[in-house]
Amino acid sequence: MARAAVLPPSRLSPTLPLLPLLLLLLQETGAQDVRVRVLPEVRGRLGGTVELPCHLLPPTTERVSQVTWQRLDGTVVAAFHPSFGVDFPNSQFNKDRLSFVRAKQEANADLRDATLAFRGLRVEDEGNYTCEFATFPNGTRRGVTWLRVIAQPENHAEAQEVTIGPQSVAVARCISTGGRPPARITWISSLGGEARDIQEPGLQAGTVTVISRYSMVPVGRADGVKVTCRVEHESLEEPELLPVILSVRYPPEVSISGYDDNWYLGRSEATLTCEVRSNPEPTGYDWSTTSGVFPASAVAQGSQLLVHSVDRMVNTTFICTATNAVGTGRAEQVILVRDTPQASRDVGPLVWGAVGGTLLVLLLAGGFLALILLRGRRRRKSPGGGGSDGDRGSYDPKTQSHLARQEQGPREASLEASSLPSSPPQWLAQASSSADNSGRSRGFRRPTRKKNWKDLPPISHPPQRPSWRNQKCPHNSSLWDPRNTAQ
Ligand SMILES: *[C@@H]1O[C@H](CO)[C@@H](O)[C@H](O)[C@H]1NC(C)=O
Ligand SMILES: *[C@@H]1O[C@H](CO)[C@@H](O)[C@H](O)[C@H]1NC(C)=O
Ligand SMILES: *[C@@H]1O[C@H](CO)[C@@H](O)[C@H](O)[C@H]1NC(C)=O
């Protein structure tokens, strides 16, 4: 039997969602005897409207003498008699809130559609309802529908500003207000904190407010990190994701940049920069030296130290101290002042290295060529004697020693010598692939470091698409569409 839930007839499309379901029901009953068809479960929005479908299905020769809707305790909430008309005997379910959708007072005929509509759904309306047809001559036919009253929660999440410290504290809060049933809250985060939930009665009776607090030991690197609150509720088509940017106040973490190990006497416009990560922003920077003597040639300008012309006084250790509302942090930088620029000494080895490298490649190519020629000649001399072991001893010692000095590649080439003339040597392929690799690694740019630890690893999302919908509602819930519910 297909279990299904039905959309509360909202202002958008009150009956349309029912049609496919009814068709389904009608089809299903083809092989059955006459019976009452109801939905096993119907969900309606608290305060909204909902219909409980109930049909006596054809073919039938029975006459319906009366239709009633009853609570499980036997209370009749609605009755229809072909002659006497409609009655709602229970004051809690009076005619202002209940009505038969098809059966009209005047209709003096067989009643086969006993669909009942509720308005202004209350929590107390939730329960099991029996739709009962009294038929002649075959007696009573009935079906039971579970009416559930759902309230869609309002959700929001916020960061709790905290200060760095050793104790675990709540750094974020997620609140799902007025859900029925209570919403389920989880957190998506790479920080490894813990969540704790509490539940409170919601404003409307029968609803629940869930407050989830995400707690962790507040560390500076958590500042600016995103955590996500995930709210699941059966009134939501998909879990609601609420991102929160954490705010952890911490004292400045300081480093000094700008020294390139090439400060020489007379160099102009040398600059040191005090790099600070902090929350809140630093209120002040202080530059000093370990010797206590501050060089006259250096000028402190906020986070920067400008040296217009490097002199012997700058040959010292500078300290930058940064302060914010939480505390202070400092860093030192040793400056070695050289008599002459270092640049020329730097370039030399590079150039010679390049030249040497080129020579090496040429030599290698030459040796390789010699090898091939030698092989060719030997092979012509002694056809069939192609064992690589025997060949190895016959190489020109010069080439051999040269190759031996190279890396593994050429050695392998010598072992592969028998196949060399026809196919490209393995070491060449290796060389080109390693060139590819180095090219790639040169092309790769390290991400530049941002301030305030915003560059932590991205938050990992749950690997699979949540199957909450099926878990919560194993039956067909496709007719419940939260977008259609009235607010
Ligand atoms: C009514 O009951 C009789 C006997 O049980 C059965 O033969 C007949 O088919 C039933 N009629 C309907 C319409 O179900
Ligand atoms: C109604 O019936 C269903 C299924 O038989 C049951 O799971 C549910 O608890 C019942 N609801 C109430 C309010 O009694
Ligand atoms: C700077 O100090 C170092 C020792 O700390 C010294 O070796 C060097 O010669 C000094 N540089 C100058 C330019 O005086």
Give residue 315 CA to ligand 3 midpoint distance, Å: 6
Pocket test for ligand 2, best of 123, 131, 146 (most atoms within 8 A of CB): 146
Give residue 29 CA to ligand 1 midpoint distance, Å: 16
Q: Output the pLDDT for position 369.
A: 57
**What gap in Å lies between CA 8 and CA 113, rounded to an integer?**
18
Q: Does 40 contact ligand 2 (Cβ within 6 A)?
A: no
Q: Are 110 and 104 in contact (CB under 8 A)?
A: no
Taking alpha carbons only, the member of 88, 20, 17 closest to residue 50 is: 17
The residue whose C-alpha atom lies closest to atom 4 belonging to ligand 1 is 138
**What gap in Å lies between CA 102 and CA 131, rounded to an integer?**
14
Ligand 3 neighbours, Cβ below 6 Å, are 265, 312, 315, 336-337, 339
Whole-Å CA distances, 370 to 264, 330, 376: 51, 64, 10
Give residue 73 CA to ligand 2 midpoint distance, Å: 12
Residues in the chain with pLDDT values less than 70: 1-34, 59-60, 103-110, 343-487
Ligand 3 atom nearest to CA at 338:
13
The residue whose C-alpha atom lies closest to atom 4 belonging to ligand 2 is 146
Q: Output the pLDDT for position 371.
A: 57
Handedness of CA 430, 431, 433, 438 (dihedral sign): positive
Residue 487 structure tokens: 């607010």
Taking alpha carbons only, the member of 181, 128, 183 closest to residue 154 is: 183
Give residue 127 CA to ligand 2 midpoint distance, Å: 7
Taking alpha carbons only, the member of 255, 243, 150, 200 closest to residue 472 is: 150
Ligand 1 atom nearest to CA at 60:
13
Tokens 């300081």 belong to 254
Give residue 338 CA to ligand 3 midpoint distance, Å: 7
Tokens 């009608």 belong to 26
* Helix/strand/coil (H/E/C) assignment for every residue in 308-375: EECCHHHCCEEEEEEECCCCEEEEEEECCEECCCCHHHHHHHHHHHHHHHHHHHHHHHHHHHHHHHHH
Give residue 138 CA to ligand 1 midpoint distance, Å: 6
**What gap in Å lies between CA 265 and CA 275, rounded to an integer?**
26
Q: Output the pLDDT for position 144.
A: 93
Ligand nearest to the CA of 336: 3
Residue 51 structure tokens: 């219909």
Pocket test for ligand 2, best of 75, 126, 128 (most atoms within 8 A of CB): 128
Q: Output the pLDDT for position 469.
A: 36
Pocket test for ligand 3, best of 315, 318, 333, 335 (most atoms within 8 A of CB): 315
Q: Output the pLDDT for position 461.
A: 40
Q: Output the pLDDT for position 437.
A: 38
The residue whose C-alpha atom lies closest to atom 3 belonging to ligand 3 is 336
Side-chain half-sphere exposure of 393, counting CA atoms within 13 A: 3
List residues bridging with 275 in a β-sheet: 255
Q: Output the pLDDT for position 257.
A: 96
Ligand 2 atom nearest to CA at 40:
4
Q: Output the pLDDT for position 394.
A: 34
The residue whose C-alpha atom lies closest to atom 13 belonging to ligand 2 is 127
**What gap in Å lies between CA 164 and CA 85, rounded to an integer?**
73
* Helix/strand/coil (H/E/C) assignment for every residue in 407-419: CHHHHHHHHCHHH
Give residue 311 CA to ligand 3 midpoint distance, Å: 11
Ligand nearest to the CA of 56: 1
Angle among Cα 234, 239, 243 to the nearest 5 degrees reads: 145
**What gap in Å lies between CA 386 and CA 410, rounded to an integer?**
19
Residue 115 structure tokens: 């669909």
The residue whose C-alpha atom lies closest to atom 12 belonging to ligand 2 is 127
Q: Output the pLDDT for position 372.
A: 54
